Amino acid sequence: MTDVAEFSTIDDTDSLRQNLGAPVAMTVNKEMPTLDKHARQFITMSPMLFISTVGADGRADVSPRGDPPGFVKVIDDCTILIPERPGNRRADTMMNIIENSGQSVGLIFLLPGVEEVVRASGRARVIDDRNALDEMRVRDKVPAHGLLIELDEVFFHCAKAIKRSKLWDPATAVPRSSFPSAAQIAKDQRAPERSLEDIEADMQESYEKRLY
């Protein structure tokens, strides 16, 4: 077994910068304090984002959010609203935001077929304002909560990661049968006493009846 304690590490930014070299000029000043027309369009077309938060105990979390394109409401060039749909009630993201009020959250927006991504950060609040959330209803279901984010910076991230992963290339799609089902994973990890059929039925019911 590899002894990770013996790994050579870099523990100061000067050494890291020496290894990396200077950043490309066009990447140094690409952060914007507000949304421009391109970032706004990207976000309003995006069906998927990831949001990172940190809890009061210092533990980090990254959580996905997905919905029909346009689910993120751009209120103005400095503010966006993300609906919180029903989940598993862990509420890691909302709990972290409340516990660390004022601390920045990180966001990555994806747009299928487009290899660039949009990155953003800002200060988030959990809201339950019915008037604001009523506009975010899907299947006639209004989200109980939303994440109101006042943006501090926004920028486009280059396509290298998506190109290397071939994320949007249909030829790289993994056959579903090559990886265990969510029900099988749940049984193996958390509920060995339950039948696979019962777990699958519970999950299917949740997807059908509690998606929104």
Outline which parts of the chain fall under CATH 2.30.110.10: 23-165
| 23-165 maps to CATH 3.10.180.10 | no
Is pTM beyond 0.85? Reply is: yes
What are the pLDDT tens digits along the chain (212 aa)? Answer: 778 888 999 999 999 999 999 888 878 889 999 999 999 999 999 999 999 999 999 999 999 999 999 999 999 999 999 999 998 899 999 999 999 988 899 999 999 999 999 999 999 999 999 999 999 999 999 999 999 999 999 999 999 999 999 999 999 999 999 999 999 999 999 999 999 999 999 999 999 999 99
**What pLDDT is stored for residue 196 in this prediction?**
97
Give the separation between CA 81 and CA 151, rounded to whole angstroms: 11
